[in-house]
Amino acid sequence: MYRMSTEYKLQCQIDELMLQLTKKTSELERLEEENKTLRKDNSNWETFAKMLSVTSQKSEEKNAELKKTITTLESDNRALRHRTKKQKDVEKKLSEANSQWYFFEKLQSDCKKANEAYKYYQGKCETIKVHLDNLREKLIYAEEESVKFRTLLNEVVEKVTGFATKVSEADTDFSYIKGVQTRGQQSRGSRRANIFEQCDLSRGKMDKLDFGYFGVISF
């Protein structure tokens, strides 16, 4: 059993080595192909060197031109820095102006809302004014009806007072004739009949009184 395990491990190692060998062989073949390509390209290096020499000469000429350009650019750069400083000042002022403009727009929006609210409450005030005018008219009418009611009430009081006076007179007469039996009984019956007849007439007038605005009062 141990021998089989060892052989298996060795076989695995051999397989791994064979795999690595295959990879190395492929890489070696690729490197050989690249070497062949480089050898072919190597013949062109002399031509490239001549071209580089010419290019170097042209580069020196261009370098001289570039130095002049750099000098000019440095001068322009100093002027640009000065302009940049001014530009920053302008941007700062512009930012402040934008902030003020934002505040102005907000203030304008608030004013618009306040104006709308003013118009709304102005309409409400007009409506309330109309209601107050209506209430004022009703109050005037109620005062007039109150005067009428007081007048009618005074009339009722006068009628009630008259009725009470008649009842008092009837009681006095009744007490007076109580001692007289025969004549007193006839006189009392006639007297009380007249009194109750008068009371019924008064009550007929007082049963219902129309007080106009305050309605009809029944007794």
Domain region containing 195? 61-218
Query: By mean pLDDT, which of 4-13, 28-37, 84-93, 154-163 is the weakest?
Result: 4-13
Helices 45-177 and 182-206 cross at an angle (nearest 10°) of 160
Matching residue, tokens 């350009």: 69
The angle at the Cα of 138, spanning 126 to 206, to the nearest 5 degrees, equals 170
| 3-state class (DSSP) for residue 215 | coil
Residue 199 burial class via C-beta count within 10 angstroms: exposed 0-12, middle 13-18, buried 19 and up: middle
Residue 17 lies in a domain: no
Residue 209 lies in a domain: yes
% of the chain residues with pLDDT over 70: 75
What integer pLDDT is reported at residue 175 of this predicted model? 73
Residue 131 lies in a domain: yes
Residue 14 lies in a domain: no
C-alpha 141/C-alpha 148 separation (Å) is 11
> What's the Cα-to-Cα distance from 71 to each of 58, 64, 113, rounded to whole Å?
20, 11, 62
Per DSSP, 178 falls in state: T
pLDDT bracket for residue 212 (50, 70, 90): very low
152 Cβ contact list (under 8 Å, min separation 6): 209, 211
Residue 47 lies in a domain: no
- Across the range 168-191, mean pLDDT stands at 63
Residue 177 lies in a domain: yes
CA atoms within 13 A on the CB side of 18: 6
Residue 140 lies in a domain: yes
C-alpha 62/C-alpha 154 separation (Å) is 129
Q: Is the pTM of this model over 0.85?
A: no
- Look at the chain and report how many structural domains it folds into: 1
Q: Where are the alpha helices (DSSP H) in the chain?
A: 2-42, 45-177, 182-206
Residue 26 lies in a domain: no
